[in-house]
Structure 1
Amino acid sequence: MKLLHVAAATLNQTPLDWEGNKRNILAAIAEARVRGVSVLCLPELCITGYGCEDAFHSAATHATAWEVLQEILPATRGMIVSLGLPIFHRNALFNTAGLVVDGRIVGFVGKQFLAGDGIHYEPRWFKPWPSGLQSTIERNGRSCPIGDLCFDCGDIRIGFEICEDAWVAARPGANLARQSVDLLLNPSASHFAFGKIEVRRRFVAEGSRAFGLTYVYANMVGNESGRAIFDGGALIATGGRLVAEGNRFSFADCEVTSAVVDLERTRMGQARTGSFQPDLQSSESGCVRCDFDFPVPAIADNGASRAAWEESPQIKEEEFTRAIVLGLFDYLRKSRSHGFVVSLSGGADSAAVTILAALTARLGLVSLGREGFLAKLGYRHDLSELPEAKLVGALVTTVYQGTANSSETTRHAARVVAEAVGVTHCEWEVDGLVAEYTRLVSTAIGRSLTWSTDDIPLQNIQARVRAPGAWMLANLRNALLLATSNRSEAAVGYATMDGDTCGGLSPIAGIDKAFLRQWLAWMEQHGPAETGAIPELHVINAQAPTAELRPQEYHQTDEEDLMPYPILDAIERAAIRDKQKPMDVYLLMRNRFPAYPAGQMAVWVERFFTLWSRNQWKRERYAPSFHVDDENLDPKTWCRFPILSGGFVRELAELRAYVQGESFR
């Protein structure tokens, strides 16, 4: 046997937070040392933070990252540690993993495949390192190799795949395996998306099997820079089997996952594989040699273990809860805000946001304990004397703002939800403000406003007059005002700008209404294991979604204004995610929802494309939202569309002609 103790760390970093990032890195190194780890993999760009964006174009960023690297080096004595940082070389910037051996930098590996789709914009800042090439950098009078490298450290060979490198067909791992690499490190910053962890588990386990080596995968965790949420989940696999798996959605700044692996076993596995052929003809110029004495670890009974919730049949609901809650918690503390304010209307969206805000405190307390939770909110000195039962109310405030069109149903529902989750709840009326604005405008234009002629303005003014009071409450409490609009509404502009869209953060703008209603039903019946169900949510789930902006005799509902939410969401996916034209979307919907008349489906498809085109300006103005899947409509990170466009006029004419022809067939 040739045993080696390896580890991967998940870190909660913040862009350009030099001292905080260094502190987390040093904590990971210290924890690994206590465990007797010899090789530690840290996440991608862990020194600077992954989400520095155009600050990567600053020479000061690179210079400071290099200084921080030098400050970390002494802590790595007796260990091998990978550290991620940008390196400026030959007038180009490269995303690199530096390998540090016993306190000394021995080389930098450049990322070969840059993530440039969806939420990622790496090609804006970095250049891909060409496969098979090596170079040398000069720093402080010393030279150091950089490029497509592997490292021979005390007769153990180490190579790298950096995040995206492992997601492509031409993985660098294949070439590294032919160079007899024993250990493949993957420093990553892989954002959360529903179901994505299964892909990671597969490529880590399969990489270890196909390449015949041990694979160590490290990841970021938390809300690093605002929109992306990283779920952590360190992985270690050897010979095709996961042997260690770290927590996901941890509230901790640093967690280390380790395993003892047998390199002799993987080497002999390669020898027994008929397809394996070492590259005996290539030069060794790409292999950096250095001395290192590996201690012999004790034999360990490894075994990847997962939290019970990972096996839940409602895994999407579990992931959604934990991702948004962790995102809110990090946004709260990193922005140094003192809490959250939600305009709680008594409907599904604002109830969901309220519950998520309350769960931010409740799950944070479960995860960190009272003292750990308060330590992370150390700037809130006023919380230190509060009993745990009062902390949710101190951090979350809701307000119900009634008008003549509000029902007792929603007023009661708001009160019940607020009391059930323990937030501080306020109520006031805004009818006087609505009446005064209506009078001012009526006087100015010389006529009265009526529902028959001025429906949209009269609806919108009610939503807008609620914003100033909510903002004032947030200002008084130094809190974040959370917007309550969802993705389905964003797609068709069914939201009042400066009304339900007002806020500094929009936590559910990345998720569709149909799933939100499904999640609320799950919260009513089950909820996360740590906190349990909220049966009081029946008062929300029993209602049909309504904006309550028209007089009650109109019996306004969202789906009457728009279309059934499952159909809206299906049209959105086909039209926006899959880029289908109106005719094709119509045919898909007719096949999927045959119970609806052809003419009605055509109306809904045309309504969607028309409203989508008209409302891009609204999507451009939404507060930052969290990314949770590949159906996000956020134009700043995922889904770009022109503010001004032709509006699908030709395509919709084609659809109308087809439907008219159908009626004569």
Structure 2
Amino acid sequence: MHLVRVAAAALNQTPLDWDGNQARILEAIRLARRQGVAVLCLPELCIPGYGCEDAFFSRGTILESWRVLQELLPETKGIVVALGLPIMHRAANYNAVCLVADGHIVGLVGKRFLAGDGIHYEPRWFKGWPAGKFVQWEHDGHSYPLGDQIFEVGGLRIGFEICEDAWVPNRPGVELASQGVDVICNPSASHFAFGKHEVRKQIVLNASRSFRATYVYSNFIGNEAGRVIYDGECMIASSGHLVAEGPRLGYGDVYLTSAVVDVDLARMVHARTTYAPTVDDNVRRITRFDMKLPTADLPPHTVAPDDALRNDKREEFSRAVALGLFDYLRKSRSRGFVVSLSGGADSAAVAYLVHLMVTLATQELGVEATCARLGLPEGACTTPRAIVRALLTCVYQATANSSDTTRNAARAVAEAVGAEFLEFDVEPLVRAYVRTVEGAIGRELGWKSDDIALQNIQARARAPGVWLLANLRGALLLATSNRSEAAVGYATMDGDTCGGLSPIAGIDKAFLRQWLRWVEHEGPAGVGPTPALRAVNVQAPTAELRPAGAKQTDEDDLMPYPILDVIERAAIRDKLAPKEVYRVLASRFPEHGRAQLLLWIKRFFRLWSQNQWKRERYAPSFHLDDENLDPKTWCRFPILSGGFARELAELENVVPREG
């Protein structure tokens, strides 16, 4: 029996935060040493941060990463650590992992398969390491083994798959298994997306089962660079069994997940399989380093938390956005949030998520530590509610078309979440703008002739006041537009879209309304319901920009939100033509006739094409779904286009008439 403890660490890093990133790496190494860890796997590009983007083109970034690595070497005495950093070889950048053991650099491995889809742009900055290639890398007056290799340290064989390497059919693990690798480390930067946990888990389990090895998977945690949230999931599997699993979506900086594995037992399991081994070392070079690894004195055991919430989209949404807000607030050095609270669903959701952020953070960290992380004065650190009060200001901005229903709902939500509540009367500003323009153009404006313009000026008149308030308080103004509105441009630029961050722009309105009802009646686990949201949930969504007699609702202006979202998925995610979208709708919503479905399809495609410029101007939003509308992280579309004119003109002829 040969027992060793292996570990993966989740780190909350920040791009180019050299001192902070180094401190968190050191904390992980010291935690691992105290637990008797022999091999520690840290996340991909953990030294500079994964989200450095075009800063990877800077030689300064490459050199500083290497300098930090050198400073970390003395801290690795008696332990083996995998550290991610960018390197340059023959005028090409590579995403690499450096294996360090007992204070020495043993060698480096380059990532073979680069992530270049969705939110990922790795091929822009790096080259994929060619399969089977090995060189002696000359750097800084020294020579280091670089390339496809297996490391044998203290008799333990260690190999690497770097993030995307594990998501492709011809993954490097096949070669590693053929040479009897004991431990495969996967340093990853695997972003959060709904339901991704199960996919990731199966990749790790299947790899450990197929390769008959111990598989150690590390990841980032938190909002690293602004848009992308990492859930921090770390896993250790051995011979097809999950033996350790770390927490997800936590508020700490460092989480260590470790497990004791029996290397001899794994080798015997490998020997009993029909996997064809290689009998020499010609497939991959073996780089050896002699050191005595720490031995574990505990028997192998399974540690896999039973988390029934992992597949609940409502829970994932709640916790991912709350964590994203927490890190965005502290990393941007803002002193709080301002929300223009309309009394409707979207702004209520944003205000509640700030409240949830504080609730979850204080549950894990405690009140004082939460205040310290957010840079709040000690006087604000008495209760979670006091923290919310110090951080969140909600403003209801009334015009002549505002109702007591929305005013009362806004007040009820603000009181329920513990925010400061203010009211602005912006009707005098709206009238002043209207009179100014009427005087200049020589006519009165009216609802029959100037409907959209009169709606928009109300939304825009609300922007300067909340911007001023946010500036006065050093706070971050949160925009409140959702994904469904973004799809069809149902938002006023420089009005309800104004803000420095748009936290719900990645989620559709139909889900958001369902989620708010769930929060009203049930709420996140360990938090409970928020009954005050009933004042919002009983309303039909409305912009409330036309006179009350118009009885304006969003769905009358557009279409039912569930239908809008189905069209969006079919047209934008699945790239279906209008006639194909019709077939999808006709099968999903047979209760609506041909004429009605055609009207909604035409409206969607026209509005989508006309409003790309709005989506380009949205404040940064969180990436929650791997098929979203953010032109900077997934969906690119021309600002100027033909607008599907031919396809829509043909739609009437292609779709058979009823009866």
Cα deviation 1:428-475 (Å, max 9, x = unaligned): 211101111111111111111110110000000000000001101101
**Equivalent residue for 2:305?**
306
Could you tell me how far apart the structure 2 residues matched to 1:581 and 1:258 are?
A: 50
The aligned amino acid for 1:248 is R
Task: Choose the corresponding residue for 2:344, options 323, 347, 351.
Answer: 347
Cα deviation 1:203-234 (Å, max 9, x = unaligned): 10110000000000000000000000000010
Cα deviation 1:109-151 (Å, max 9, x = unaligned): 1000000000000000000001111112122321001111110
2:280 maps to 1:295: no
The aligned amino acid for 2:436 is L
Alignment of 1:127-166 (within 5 A): 127-166=127-166
1:482 deviates by 0.2
Could you tell me how far apart the structure 2 residues matched to 1:460 and 1:111 are?
A: 50
**Equivalent residue for 1:553?**
549
Equivalent position SS for 2:169 = coil
1:199 deviates by 0.7
Query: Which stretches of structure 1, 4 residues or more, deviate above 4 A after TM superposition?
Result: 382-388
Conserved? CA contact 1:237–1:244, under 8 Å: yes
1:568 deviates by 0.1
Alignment of 1:257-272 (within 5 A): 257-272=257-272
Alignment of 1:382-397 (within 5 A): 383=379, 386-397=382-393
Could you tell me how far apart the structure 2 residues matched to 1:82 and 1:571 are?
A: 46
Could you tell me how far apart the structure 1 residues matched to 2:217 and 2:53 are?
A: 24
**Equivalent residue for 1:60?**
60
The aligned amino acid for 2:590 is P
Could you tell me how far apart the structure 1 residues matched to 2:318 and 2:137 are?
A: 45
1:633 deviates by 0.5
C-alpha distance 177-114 of structure 1, shift in aligned 2 (>3 A): same
Conserved? CA contact 1:341–1:482, under 8 Å: yes
The aligned amino acid for 2:102 is D
2:415 maps to 1:449: no
1:631 deviates by 2.5
Identity of aligned residues (%): 62
Conserved? CA contact 2:10–2:43, under 8 Å: yes
The aligned amino acid for 1:182 is D
Alignment of 1:165-184 (within 5 A): 165-184=165-184
2:42 maps to 1:42: yes
C-alpha distance 558-263 of structure 1, shift in aligned 2 (>3 A): same
2:537 maps to 1:541: yes
Could you tell me how far apart the structure 1 residues matched to 2:178 and 2:463 are?
A: 62
1:302 deviates by 2.6
**Equivalent residue for 1:364?**
361
**Equivalent residue for 1:569?**
565
The aligned amino acid for 2:358 is A
The aligned amino acid for 1:338 is R
The aligned amino acid for 1:297 is A
Could you tell me how far apart the structure 1 residues matched to 2:299 and 2:398 are?
A: 63
The aligned amino acid for 1:549 is L
1:384 deviates by 5.5
The aligned amino acid for 1:375 is A
Conserved? CA contact 2:500–2:619, under 8 Å: yes
1:2 deviates by 1.3
**Equivalent residue for 1:246?**
246
Task: Choose the corresponding residue for 1:502, options 488, 498, 507.
Answer: 498
**Equivalent residue for 1:51?**
51
**Equivalent residue for 1:662?**
657
The aligned amino acid for 2:446 is T
**Equivalent residue for 1:429?**
425
Could you tell me how far apart the structure 2 residues matched to 1:510 and 1:49 are?
A: 24
1:654 deviates by 1.2
Gaps of 5+ in 2: none
Conserved? CA contact 1:374–1:383, under 8 Å: no
Equivalent position SS for 1:219 = strand
Could you tell me how far apart the structure 1 residues matched to 2:545 and 2:303 are?
A: 53
Could you tell me how far apart the structure 1 residues matched to 2:365 and 2:378 are?
A: 19
Task: Choose the corresponding residue for 1:527, options 523, 529, 552.
Answer: 523
Conserved? CA contact 2:15–2:224, under 8 Å: yes
C-alpha distance 84-539 of structure 1, shift in aligned 2 (>3 A): same
Q: Which moved more, 1:578-587 or 1:139-148?
A: 139-148
**Equivalent residue for 1:328?**
325
C-alpha distance 261-313 of structure 1, shift in aligned 2 (>3 A): closer
Conserved? CA contact 2:232–2:248, under 8 Å: yes
**Equivalent residue for 1:649?**
645
Cα deviation 1:263-296 (Å, max 9, x = unaligned): 111111111112x111125527611011121232
Could you tell me how far apart the structure 2 residues matched to 1:194 and 1:312 are?
A: 12
Could you tell me how far apart the structure 1 residues matched to 2:185 and 2:568 are?
A: 39
Equivalent position SS for 1:119 = coil
Gaps of 5+ in 1: none
Equivalent position SS for 1:237 = strand
The aligned amino acid for 1:485 is S
Cα deviation 1:31-56 (Å, max 9, x = unaligned): 00111111000000000000000000
Could you tell me how far apart the structure 2 residues matched to 1:511 and 1:589 are?
A: 21
**Equivalent residue for 1:619?**
615
C-alpha distance 118-285 of structure 1, shift in aligned 2 (>3 A): closer
Conserved? CA contact 2:380–2:387, under 8 Å: no
**Equivalent residue for 1:121?**
121
Conserved? CA contact 1:416–1:536, under 8 Å: yes
Could you tell me how far apart the structure 2 residues matched to 1:555 and 1:304 are?
A: 57
Conserved? CA contact 2:261–2:300, under 8 Å: no
RMSD: 1.2
**Equivalent residue for 2:77?**
77
What TM-score do the two structures reach when normalised by structure 1?
Answer: 0.98
1:155 deviates by 1.5
Alignment of 1:195-206 (within 5 A): 195-206=195-206
1:658 deviates by 2.5
Equivalent position SS for 2:397 = strand
1:342 deviates by 0.3
The aligned amino acid for 1:306 is P
Conserved? CA contact 1:189–1:219, under 8 Å: yes
**Equivalent residue for 2:374?**
377
Task: Choose the corresponding residue for 1:596, options 592, 595, 615.
Answer: 592
Task: Choose the corresponding residue for 2:408, options 406, 412, 435.
Answer: 412
**Equivalent residue for 2:464?**
468
Equivalent position SS for 2:334 = coil
Could you tell me how far apart the structure 1 residues matched to 2:569 and 2:562 are?
A: 11
Conserved? CA contact 1:524–1:536, under 8 Å: yes
The aligned amino acid for 1:45 is L
The aligned amino acid for 1:442 is E
Equivalent position SS for 1:452 = helix
The aligned amino acid for 2:377 is H
Q: How many residues align?
A: 659
**Equivalent residue for 1:518?**
514
**Equivalent residue for 1:31?**
31
The aligned amino acid for 2:416 is A
Conserved? CA contact 1:483–1:503, under 8 Å: yes
The aligned amino acid for 2:301 is N
Could you tell me how far apart the structure 2 residues matched to 1:622 and 1:76 are?
A: 45
Equivalent position SS for 1:571 = helix
Could you tell me how far apart the structure 2 residues matched to 1:383 and 1:266 are?
A: 55
The aligned amino acid for 1:541 is N
Could you tell me how far apart the structure 2 residues matched to 1:385 and 1:221 are?
A: 25
Equivalent position SS for 1:94 = strand
Conserved? CA contact 1:577–1:630, under 8 Å: no
The aligned amino acid for 1:289 is R
1:377 deviates by 2.0
The aligned amino acid for 2:419 is V
